[in-house]
Amino acid sequence: MAQPATQRGAARTTTGERLSALAKTAQFYWWAGHMVVLIFGTMYYVRRPFGWKTANWYYGKAYMGALASYAIVIYKTYGPPQLNLAFVQRLLVDENVEYLMLAGYWYSCRPIFVTLLPFVVFSLFHVITYTRSSLIPMFFPEVTAEVQRARQGEAVLSGPARVSKFMGDWSSKYYSPALRQVGVWEVAVIGLWVVLGAVTFQTPLLAPLAYFQFLRMRYALSAPTRAAFRNVRVLLDRLLTPPTASASVPGVVADSYIKARDFLVRMGSMITDPAAAQQQQQR
């Protein structure tokens, strides 16, 4: 089969020339930022059981990578900052801006163990996608066409092509389930952690307010976040409310949970449909 013209052109250039061209793109540095998050975030969780001082160094570097990668994609999307209300409104509804602000807040605080995991998971999939789509073809220009032919049963995969195909298949299989689990982690684990930390003076008193503002924005703009809230509610209903709750659950605990749940449900309704919520209150 004849090579496509673009692939014949890529084959005539050297790897160094292709790498130099790639390194001039903003997306390359976006990928590098996510690599920093992935490597240093993983090292933080590996080292944390053996001592917090060294681990916290990795924690800070991971968040620096997150700040860089999110800043790059925001600048690439919107360009230089503009001093007008329309520009600010566009930024406020962008999830990359929300995560940039959250990463900046966590970076400025004393390390909180549970906060870094969602960033590491996001970076893992970003790194895989960019590596498969850009880096592997840079070193092996035939890989993309080879994988396409193999999917049609027309070729046997080489080593680099097998790696590329595995990465693509793995990412496609686990991306959506991982996002669902991250959503539950953000809602249940981090939310509870910062509240308990503030009550016991282990985390800043402003941490719950800052984080719940983040969750409020995510709830308004993200269907997966709303689904995560529903999943957490179903689980807690089963554990804490009759008839499925254990008899050992004190009544005061069940009553307190129901009141808190109903309050959050009303808040969620006000966020997603404020007009309907106001009409309901006026009845």
Other C-beta atoms lying within 10 Å of the C-beta of residue 242:
10
2 pLDDT above the threshold of 60: no
pTM of the predicted model over 0.75: yes
4 pLDDT above the threshold of 70: no
Q: Measuring CA to CA, which residue among 119, 131, 143, 118 is closest to residue 167?
A: 131
Tell me, what's the pLDDT at 275? 52
Tokens of 170: 């793995």
Average pLDDT, stretch 224-238?
91
- Amino acid letter, residue 6: T
Burial class (CB in 10 A: 0-12, 13-18, 19+), 15: exposed
Contact between 25 and 55 under an 8 Å Cβ cutoff? The reply is no
Give DSSP secondary structure letters for 166-207: HHHHHHHHHHHHHHHHHHHIIIIIIHHHHHHHHHTTSS-TTH
Average pLDDT, stretch 157-179?
91
Mean pLDDT of the chain: 87
> What does the domain layout of the chain look like in residue ranges?
5-240, 241-283
